[in-house]
Amino acid sequence: MSEPTPTPAEPAREAGEGRREAILRAALRLIGRRGLHAVTHRDVAAEAGVPLASTTYYFASKDDLLTEALWLFVREEVQRLERAAASFEGLSASPEEVADAMVEEVRLTLQQEAEQVAQFELYLQASRNPRLAAAAREAMRAYERTTAAALRAAGARDPEGWAPLFQALGRGLIFEQLVERRERWAEEILRPALLTLFRALQ
């Protein structure tokens, strides 16, 4: 049986989804570079290389645009973190090996520097906006699930209970690194801090 012939609407729908995603990614980059309150529909359209009418067509308000941009970031982070968590399941490793793996995950996270700054901006806005708060909570839970899987592999007594502590430590250090870039930060600051906390809780 031959494959069904795509209807004319299908390419148009795919093109529309691609343009919508380009707008959201442009919004994240701009939030990271310039701050949430400095971003307008016009700015996002210029960054995405689309007509201004496109941003208002897909997102009636700035609140809609910010909410969907954070959800895009969260969905992709959750997928990445779920893969990372699965890689720890069933493993037995030393705290040092687990710290190395966690540091590598942070390296991957910081490759999207503008998006990470945008994430912190949107988290702050989430304290005032229930729609954003739901996305922020989902991201935080995904980080904690991944951390719990890593701690379980290292033989932690209460990985689910410790995970929020490790996440709070990591999030605070990442925030500092985004504000004040330091060479060898991962090796000389993040990794030792993770190991110190692990040993203190044993």
Specify the fold of 9-201: Tetracycline Repressor; domain 2 (1.10.357)
Task: Provide the pLDDT for residue 73.
Answer: 85
| pLDDT for residue 85 | 85
**In this structure, what token pair is assigned to residue 32?**
């990271």
Predicted local confidence at residue 123, as pLDDT = 86
Reading the block at residue 145, the tokens are 């699930």
- Residue 98: closest CA among 17, 30, 154, 19: 154
Q: Write down the pLDDT at residue 11.
A: 57
pLDDT along the chain (202 residues), means of 10: 50 72 93 86 94 92 88 86 84 87 84 84 87 88 90 90 93 91 91 92 78
**Cβ pair 145, 60 in contact under 8 A:** no
Q: For residues 123 and 130, what is the distance between their CA atoms, to the nearest angstrom?
A: 11
Helix (H) or strand (E) holding 94: none
Task: Return the pLDDT at 88.
Answer: 83
Q: What is the pLDDT, as a whole number, of residue 3? A: 46
Q: Which residues of 115-133 are buried (b: 16+ CB within 10 A; e: fewer)?
A: bbbbbbbbbebbeebeebe
**pLDDT on residue 63:** 87
